[in-house]
Amino acid sequence: MDEKWTERDIPDQKGRVAVVTGANTGLGFEAARALAENGASVVLAVRDVEKGKRAAARIAGDTVVQELDLTSLESIRAAAAELHGPHSKIDVLINNAGVGTLLEEDWTMHISYTTEPAHPNHATAIYWRADLI
């Protein structure tokens, strides 16, 4: 296999539902864009809805923006409940949200964030996986 896999190799995603956390910027945005452009219905799960809407406006395809703050179990539960309305299943869950560039002063916070027993992304997976995945 000498050719690199690129987003051009993504198979048709029509009829599939994808949820991408932290989809307003960076890797999450690119993943959401690539999935939507290949036919998926993509939920941009973001903590700042206005930023999410601006990101969605830059994506050609079927997107919805949903509020999700992974530091809040209340927000995770609310987002899970909201997903149940329009969707009976999730085909792709990209637990992307997190700290991208880490400044030295953020280091302690980051270690605590990623080692807490109720790690936010794990919590998301548990709540969403329960019924939809």
> Which 101-130 positions form the footprint of ligand NAP (CB under 6 A)?
none
Q: Binding of ligand NAP at residue 77 (CB under 6 A)?
A: no
Q: Which two tokens stand for residue 58?
A: 């830059």
Q: How far is the CB of 20 from ligand NAP (least distance, A)?
A: 9
Kindly compute the dihedral angle of the four CA atoms of residues 44, 5, 13, 128, in this order, to the nearest 10 degrees: -50
> Which 34-53 positions form the footprint of ligand NAP (CB under 6 A)?
47-48, 51
Cα dihedral sign for 98, 114, 70, 79? Answer: positive
- Among the candidate windows 9-17, 31-39, 77-85, 93-101, which touches ligand NAP by CB under 6 A? 93-101
> Which 1-20 positions form the footprint of ligand NAP (CB under 6 A)?
none
Q: How far is the CB of 39 from ligand NAP (least distance, A)?
A: 23
Which residues, other chains included, contact 88 with Cβ-Cβ below 8 Å and sequence gap of 6+?
132
Q: Which is nearer to ligand NAP, 71 or 88 (CB)?
A: 71
- Contacting residues toward ligand NAP, per CB under 6 A: 21-22, 24-28, 47-48, 51, 68-71, 96-100
